[in-house]
Structure 1
Amino acid sequence: MCNVSIRSWASRLMRCLSLGLACFIGTSVIASRLAHADDWGCQVILCLANPGGPEQYAECVPPIEKLWRALRHGDAFPTCDFGAGGSRRTSASDTFASASYCRGDLLYWGGPEQSELLCGARGAINIEIDGELYTRVWWDAAGEDRTITEFYGGGSTEAPYDPTQSARLLMERMQREEGGEHDEAGGR
């Protein structure tokens, strides 16, 4: 009788251990997939915040190339959960580039009869750290797989500008040039 109860107990223990192990493995796989998805968003933000450009370092190339593919297909921008101790004032936002949101040197005349003002980038990603613009990355600039990184963080001498004003400033400059007025540098 003692042997039967030990075998029964051992059998139940093995079943419980097997079930527990299966649950542990299942939750580990799910948790690692969730963590991996979140890791990608955090990697993207870190790489985009690099003043030297998002693909300056080899470790950034795979996550950033994945980002470009995702954005070209219309997928949402990835997120990053900074955790309980994370910064709530750190963010990334992707904005569609157009004549109304563009870098001045990327504006050009196109469309029918070259009469439409267009932007030579697909989008701009603004990275804010501590609530301040840190970098802005223009992606697919000049119709290529090219990026332009503007750095405004600590040590930068560049002042952030408002890309919503670039078209207005271009039109004003063109009107001055057509009217024969001289610009501040003394040129036309």
Structure 2
Amino acid sequence: MPASPTPAPTPTVTPPAPLTTDRLLLRAVHRGDLAAVTRLWTDPEVRHHLGGPVTEPVIRIRQRRIVGAAGCHAVIRAEDDVLLGLVTVEPGARNGETEVSYQFLPEHWGKGYAREAVGAVVARVLEGTPSVVALTQEANHRSRRLLEAVGLEHAESFVEWDARQVLYRIRRG
């Protein structure tokens, strides 16, 4: 009698390894982070260059998927354990290149937290991949300055999602 086919292994989701900087802890998203993360998805200022606030049905789906998700870093201020934002890494997301994206709550803007977190994540990603890209709207001058500050360079501009976009890239070495 032929053997039963072996079931395919269930893929495991490996949350990102924790990463620390002088002021921050970057770790997997925990259930206790969901209120702050939901604010990121619904805050009109945060979502201004990201297509607007996310709708309730999409929020429920995202909440189920984000806890412990691979590539999604909760950015935590080390001194008081406050969630400041998210930095996400998506291998192969844009024409085979690893894409880094980020969003931070407005009350934490202008303090260097995003630059510190994104810079640390980009450095880590470059240890294992030849390049990293990031995309922002041309009109998002703060985000463009942040990307340039962490070493990414303007690679191309184009229209996508009905807006002028700018792709930034950094290569290892």
| TM-score calculated relative to the size of structure 1 | 0.23
Larger radius of gyration: 1
Which structure features the higher share of strand residues?
2
Which structure features the higher share of helix residues?
1
